[in-house]
Amino acid sequence: MKMSEGIEWAIHCCTLLAALPEGTALPVGRLSEFHDVPKDYLAKHLQSLSRAGIVQTTRGPGGGYRLGRPAERITLLDVVEAIDGKDPCFQCTEIRRRGPSAVGAAAYKKPCGIARAMWSAEAAWRRELQKVTIAALVAQAAEEVDPKQIEKSISWLERTTGG
């Protein structure tokens, strides 16, 4: 069970967009340059974020992507679900209804106990993701990340928003 690499990209993009000066936006070309990932494929993921309202877009010169709401109100769960969908990872195929022990459909009122246990664990995962906001990640990075890297990022950003 591997998670799409696009999720990693999307989260990184959100943290970068959170550092963007008010009133400015970053086009996909610059986002892909910053993260060194394929531009067209990144664009697909950003479109998913856009549809989910996590980012807002404006077309045309000077346009691009910016956060759709304050970073305090964007959680990792929001991003994960925007990219990966909301379907549970564990898919119950109702094998209990097959084979020689199967009985009439009326006997299967509750979901399969195995599925319930798996889904319950997934719920715990989602709850944890929901606790972490983009703002928290940015704050954490401000503490931990090498000042040199932060400086480089800021000057790179200024090259965009200034020009």
Partner DNA sequence: ATATATTTGGATGATATATATCCGTAATCA
Partner DNA sequence: TGATTACGGATATATATCATCCAAATATAT
Q: Which stretch binds DNA (CB under 7 A): 23-31, 96-104, 119-127, 148-156?
A: 23-31
Query: Given the complex with a second copy, which of 2 and 59 has the nearer CB atom?
Result: 2
Q: Contacting a second copy (CB under 8 A), which of 44, 62, 114, 158?
A: 114
Q: Contacting DNA (CB under 7 A), which of 15, 24, 47, 153?
A: 47
The minimum distance between CB 65 and a second copy, in angstroms, equals 16
For the residues of the chain, what is the DSSP string, one character each?
----HHHHHHHHHHHHHHTSPTT--B-HHHHHHHHT--HHHHHHHHHHHHHTTSEEEE-STT-EEEESS-GGG-BHHHHHHHHH-SS-SS----GGGSSTT---GGG--SPPHHHHHHHHHHHHHHHHHHH-BHHHHHHHHHHHS-HHHHHHHHHHHHHHHH-
Q: Contacting DNA (CB under 7 A), which of 15, 20, 34, 57?
A: 57
Residue 88 interacting with DNA (CB under 7 A): no
Residue 73 interacting with a second copy (CB under 8 A): no
Residue 99 interacting with a second copy (CB under 8 A): yes
Rg (C-alpha) for the chain, rounded Å, is 21
Of DNA, a second copy, none, which one does residue 124 interact with (CB within 5 to 8 Å by kind)?
a second copy
Q: Contacting a second copy (CB under 8 A), which of 51, 70, 73, 156?
A: 156
Q: Contacting DNA (CB under 7 A), which of 12, 34, 35, 43?
A: 43
User: What does the alpha-carbon distance between residue 78 and residue 91 come to, in Å, rounded to a whole number?
Assistant: 21
